[in-house]
């Protein structure tokens, strides 16, 4: 009986090994990636963030442009499930009263414990167009006859939470668009550099050396400053993306060139060449697939830089401008000490920035480990 068990165990192990050797490269990458828990978490978090961004008008209780002039700079309302008189109950928020501080004459919004608003789901709110196509007025959550400001309001009385969700459209997409542009530039320039070699390669490499050794932010600031202020949101958006990509392509070009140079000498490339394959076929069929995984890694790791670049520029007032909404634009209001001191909730949008960047970094780190699945 025992020897049978042992045999069975052995067969199982063989099968497993066979599975390993038969698996395609992408399958191996997937297996290895699955084991990297922070990376999987990062991927899930990013999935949620992008879903929130795409359906922001549904998930946010209000529209980004809704103004509640009764509540200027109101503090966040906390969702509670316990009240002193009722014990545990469905999630609710207390109402807020408005009064003036007798000494400083500043507006204050203390909690009104007599008013309780239960959070309702799928409530009717302001009408909007779902995905910009279907007119509807259903919001995921909200309260009837009262207001819920999860992140408080800004000095014009707009709900910061809703604005953060709306802002994620620009902030999260600019990362992807920017990386896409840098990716194209990096692929073409790096490819040319690695493939042609010689003087061209030397020139491109020196250019990259140069670009990565100058401080990017002052350069970005100076370039962004030259953008005309009366441009439309779309125009500014693309201009900012291009400014960010001007430096972003360098890293990718290096990866492409390095891999091309080493793969060009590999046996399978020489074999393909000897078999009479054309240069184009060698590049697209043999070289590109072999370093695609490395490209994905460096793309993932360069997205956070783009997001941070946009946030920094908009935060300084040089990137996206009102009425555009992005995380940086939202933080712009919190630039000086007085605002931070009196309305600390104005820096809440930065939690989203940090979460997004952290998630991309974890994801990229996991992908880097998985990218080379043969190194065990």
Q: Which residues contribute to the site for another protein (CB under 8 A)?
A: 206, 210, 212-219, 221-226, 228, 304, 308, 311-312, 315-318, 331, 334-337, 340-341, 344, 347, 350, 353-354, 357-358, 361-362, 365
Q: How far is the CB of 249 from another protein (least distance, A)?
A: 16
Q: How far is the CB of 362 from another protein (least distance, A)?
A: 7
Nearer to another protein, 143 or 224 (CB): 224
Q: How far is the CB of 366 from another protein (least distance, A)?
A: 12
Q: How far is the CB of 333 from another protein (least distance, A)?
A: 11
Nearer to another protein, 170 or 356 (CB): 356
Nearer to another protein, 269 or 311 (CB): 311
For the chain, what is the HEC assignment? CHHHHHHHHHHHHHHHHHHHHHCCHHHHHHHHHHHCHHHHHHHHHHHHHHHHHHCHHHHCCCCCCCCCCCCCCCCCCCCEEEECCCEEEEEEEEEECCEECCCCCCEECCEEEEEEEECEEEEEEEEEEECCCEEEEEEEEECCCCCCCCCCECCCCCEHHHHHHHHHHHHHHHHHHHHHHHHHHHHHHHHHHHHHCHHHHHHHHHHHHHHHCCCHHHHHHHHHHCCCCCCCHHHHHHHHHHHHHHHHHHHHHHHHHHHHHHHHCCHHHHHHHHCCCCHHHHHHHHHHHHHHHHHHHHHHHHHHHHHHHHHHHHHHCCCCCCCCCCHHHHHHCCCCHHHHHHCHHHHCHHHHHHHHHHHHHHHHHHHHHHHCCCCC
Nearer to another protein, 54 or 261 (CB): 261
Q: How far is the CB of 106 from another protein (least distance, A)?
A: 16
Nearer to another protein, 63 or 330 (CB): 330
């Amino acid at each position: 009986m025992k020897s049978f068990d042992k045999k069975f165990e052995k067969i199982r192990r063989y099968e497993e090994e066979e599975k390993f050797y038969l698996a395609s490269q992408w399958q191996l990458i997937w297996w290895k990636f699955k084991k990297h828990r922070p990376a999987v978490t990062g991927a899930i978090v990013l999935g949620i963030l992008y879903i929130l961004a795409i359906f922001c008008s549904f998930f946010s209780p209000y529209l980004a442009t809704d103004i509640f002039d009764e509540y200027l700079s109101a503090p966040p309302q906390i969702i509670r499930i316990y009240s002193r008189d009722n014990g545990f109950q469905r999630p609710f928020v207390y109402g807020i009263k408005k009064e003036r501080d007798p000494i400083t004459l500043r507006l204050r919004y203390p909690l009104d414990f007599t008013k309780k608003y239960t959070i309702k789901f799928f409530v009717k709110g302001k009408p909007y167009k779902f995905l910009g196509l279907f007119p509807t007025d259903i919001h995921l959550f909200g309260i009837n006859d009262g207001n819920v400001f999860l992140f408080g309001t800004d000095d014009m009385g707009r709900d910061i939470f809703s604005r953060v969700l709306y802002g994620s459209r620009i902030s999260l997409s600019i990362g992807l668009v920017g990386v896409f542009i840098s990716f194209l530039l990096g692929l073409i320039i790096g490819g040319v550099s690695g493939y042609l070699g010689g003087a061209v390669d030397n020139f491109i490499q020196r250019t990259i050396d140069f670009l990565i050794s100058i401080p990017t932010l002052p350069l970005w600031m100076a370039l962004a400053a030259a953008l005309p202020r009366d441009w439309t949101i779309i125009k500014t958006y693309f201009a900012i993306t291009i400014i960010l990509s001007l430096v972003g392509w360098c890293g990718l070009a290096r990866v492409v060139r390095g891999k091309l140079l080493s793969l060009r000498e590999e046996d399978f490339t020489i074999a393909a060449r000897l078999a009479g394959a054309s240069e184009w076929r060698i590049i697209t069929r043999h070289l590109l697939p072999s370093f695609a995984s490395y490209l994905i890694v460096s793309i993932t790791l360069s997205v956070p830089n783009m997001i941070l670049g946009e946030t920094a520029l908009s935060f300084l007032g040089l990137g996206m401008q009102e009425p555009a909404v992005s995380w940086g634009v939202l933080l712009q209001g919190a630039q000086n000490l007085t605002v931070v001191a009196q309305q600390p909730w104005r820096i809440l949008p930065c939690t989203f920035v940090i979460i997004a960047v952290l998630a991309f970094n974890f994801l990229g780190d996991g992908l880097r480990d998985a990218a080379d699945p043969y190194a065990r």
